[in-house]
Structure 1
Amino acid sequence: MHTLWTSAAPALSYRLYAEEWQLSPIQTTGVFAIYPLFVVGTLILLGDLSDHVGRRWTMLAALMFSLIGALTLAWAVNVEWLLVARAVMGVGVGLASGASTAAILEFSSTGDPERAASATNLAQALGFATALLLGGALIQYAPYPLRLDFFALAVVIAALILPVWFLPRHVSSRTPWAPRLPHVPATVRKAFHVASIGAATAFATGAVLLSLGGQVAHDLVGSANELTNGAILASFAIVSAIATIVARKLRPRAALLLGSVTTTIAVLLLWLATKFHLLSALLISTSLAGISYAFLFLGALTLLNAVAPADSRGGVLSAFYLVGYLCMGFCALALGVVARIWGLPTAVAAAAIVLASLGCATFLFAVARFSAMVE
């Protein structure tokens, strides 16, 4: 929950920062993109840390970094502060992602990979929705619109530190730790290839909504109320949580195939919403994107939870998130460049083409490789 709340917390603030400090689209998407880039860097250097020092210690370190980042955002006075804050938060989320996902499976009473994947997706959806709904309400109706949202996040992160302190002390690997790329054992690489393309599609969809969603709703669709805009973007997470219940009944291959098709439909509606200024189409688009994210993420994660060895599970899951956040950072930067040169409507059209292409690639990859992987 903390990782997605931290990711989405500034989503509705980017437009306000741009107005307050006269930032260009490249600067605002750059502030967004530095976050996944630092997540990626942390996953590269420290992705399997929790396999060696334990899930608990890794999550405690993650929460401390996120707390520092949230407080820095709350006191930010210029774009440089934003960059530092998002970089520090990226380190926190990079440390937490693989460790917390592995802990949900390992600390559960059943050890069921499908149930653990569902719990992970539900927690992330709750964090995402809370960030956007609470953020929209505080920005629209409370004082200090660029500060109070992040103080609220800081309070939540601080409150999480105590219960995490009392989690089980758990270490899987007996080998000494050294910085290295997250390792994927040869026995699970075919499954990892299938899962990673699904992660790339899911996270790219999130990148578009988080980096440009607030500006799209306000500037292109014409919705001036930040709580309304936050609710529309939060529908991504709310519908994703509901879809998780359905997705639990599906096999990973079916979930990946359905998720890829839904992604393509969602981005087509996003383009139509901006072209014809249809708030209803934007709501349906974000809701369908939530369904596609749930199916893609849950299918991919269930597959990895089932095959990853216990002594390297943290590293495998960190590699999974590494692919997703790399795609997220690249998409955000590329969209910022397109918006700067050709305008926001062109950036949305380009995003629709890219996401539709990723959806088609996921569909074809799952069809072509899943059978070979099972065999």
Structure 2
Amino acid sequence: MQQRSKSTSRGQWGLIGAAYAFLIIMMGTTLPTPLYPIYSEEFNLSPLVITIIYAVYAGGVIFGLLVFGQLSDRIGRRYVLLPGVILSIISALVFLFATNLTLLLIGRIISGLSAGLFTSTATATIVNLAPDDKKNQASTIASSVNMLGLGCGPLVCGILAEYLPYPTRLIFIVNIVTLVIAFIAIWLMPEPVKDRQSFRIQVQKLSVPAEMRSTFINAVIPVFVGFSMLGLMTAISPNFLGEILNMNNKAIVGVTVFLVFCASTVGQLLFKQKSDFHVLRLGSMTLIVGVALVAVSLILHSYILLLVGAMVSGLGQAFSFRAGLSTVNSAAPDDQRAEITSTFFTIAYVAISIPIVGIGLLELGLNVQWAGVVFSIIVVLLAVVSLLLLLRQGHQSTSE
């Protein structure tokens, strides 16, 4: 009995450690957001170059997911998470000493690789370490930690950069300290994968077991829409606030982006008694309203309306993300969970990068305001398509 109690306690602390490390890693990926106006001025970077910096990060994430996403199913979670923390520390060091565009690009690629290693593996780890009767709650914890970490990056960086000295240096020193603690937490975490196999790198195909393919598709489409919204808000917020509204306070930029992810985190705690299918529909409907408000705010130059639209959109993204991830995790076989969630997050990160790259290209002919309006309309249309597909699925289920 005492041995079982110690094992349970160690598992609980391992779960807390994995969640903390997940939060810190994701926080590190969005830390530079309020700093891009500074980098643009210091290194004379055009909007297109800033877009390339965003794009190489997304490429690093997708590469990490496809090449290493299934590896933790074979060799164990810890041995993928630890390199993920090390890569994040290296990325922070590169940014700490960055003096040119090349180092910014290298830092973002490494940061993307870190997120690629961590995203699906940490999610699977949290689910593995949770008690059997808490697996659905574990999915919610994982997705909430993911979103909260992404939101805390711009918030913490914006505040430190605006009110303390060394705006492009201090935040990365703080980040490195938190990452060292994350490394220790993962090192001490109990290893959930007991039946380990030999180390073998295998590029993952974007495929899902046939028996759950229909479930996966219906779950991932609303998630694609939700992450497209996150990419939209990340892309337009810094430049729209600075160029159109003349709001150059980096803390305000950080708070604005944080509120989107904060709403996403809070939204994942709502409607827990509803089925995943109903929450997915609610997510699509909420995204339609929220992103439409963002489009109107850009046209009217209204910061308040932008905030409202951002938070409503964040709620819609949360509903879609939580229900989609829960649906996929519930249906996935234990020995393929990391591989399947890698596919899930690959699609999500493709979605988050499309508006960032697209708006950067549109800014060559339009300003950030109208580039944002165009992509807001596209995201709204995608959300409408997602809702129609879910309604058709519900009608078919009722007919059967």
Equivalences for 1:176-215 in 2 at 5 Å?
A: 177-182=200-205, 183-215=207-239
Q: CA deviation at 1:232?
A: 2.0
Q: Hey, what's the Cα distance between the residues in 1 that align with 2:178 and 2:378?
A: 35
The range that moved more, 244-253 or 72-81, is 244-253
Q: In 2 relative to 1, CA 370–316 (structure 1 residues): closer, same or farther, beyond 3 Å?
A: farther
The range that moved more, 360-369 or 72-81, is 360-369
Match of 1:270 in 2: 294
Q: Does 1:57 align with 2:98?
A: no
Match of 2:110 in 1: 88
Structure 2 residue ranges without an equivalent (≥5)? 1-22
Residue by residue over 1:153-184, the C-alpha shift from the partner in whole angstroms, topping out at 9 and shown as x without a partner, is: 22211210001011122336666544122542
Among 245, 248, 263, the residue aligned to 2:272 = 248
Match of 1:112 in 2: 134
Q: Hey, what's the Cα distance between the residues in 1 that align with 2:197 and 2:377?
A: 45
Q: In 2 relative to 1, CA 79–62 (structure 1 residues): closer, same or farther, beyond 3 Å?
A: same
Is contact 1:33–1:329 with CA below 8 Å preserved after alignment?
Answer: yes
Q: Hey, what's the Cα distance between the residues in 1 that align with 2:80 and 2:360?
A: 33
Is contact 1:235–1:286 with CA below 8 Å preserved after alignment?
Answer: yes
What one-letter code is carried by the residue in structure 2 that aligns with 1:219? E
Q: Hey, what's the Cα distance between the residues in 2 that align with 1:205 and 1:180?
A: 29
Equivalences for 1:1-375 in 2 at 5 Å?
A: 1-171=23-193, 177-182=200-205, 183-369=207-393
What one-letter code is carried by the residue in structure 1 that aligns with 2:176? A
What one-letter code is carried by the residue in structure 1 that aligns with 2:177? V
What one-letter code is carried by the residue in structure 2 that aligns with 1:179? Q
Q: CA deviation at 1:371?
A: 6.4
Residue by residue over 1:35-89, the C-alpha shift from the partner in whole angstroms, topping out at 9 and shown as x without a partner, is: 1111111212222011001111111111111111111112111111111001011
What one-letter code is carried by the residue in structure 2 that aligns with 1:155? V
Is contact 1:262–1:291 with CA below 8 Å preserved after alignment?
Answer: yes
What one-letter code is carried by the residue in structure 2 that aligns with 1:358? L
Residue by residue over 1:287-324, the C-alpha shift from the partner in whole angstroms, topping out at 9 and shown as x without a partner, is: 11210111010010110111000000000000000101
Q: CA deviation at 1:192?
A: 1.1
Q: Percent identity over the alignment?
A: 25
CA RMSD of aligned residues (A): 1.9
Q: Hey, what's the Cα distance between the residues in 2 that align with 1:371 and 1:154?
A: 51
Is contact 1:17–1:23 with CA below 8 Å preserved after alignment?
Answer: yes
Is contact 2:232–2:376 with CA below 8 Å preserved after alignment?
Answer: no
Q: Hey, what's the Cα distance between the residues in 1 that align with 2:396 and 2:128?
A: 29
Q: Hey, what's the Cα distance between the residues in 2 that align with 1:148 and 1:64?
A: 19
Number of residue pairs the alignment of both structures matches: 375
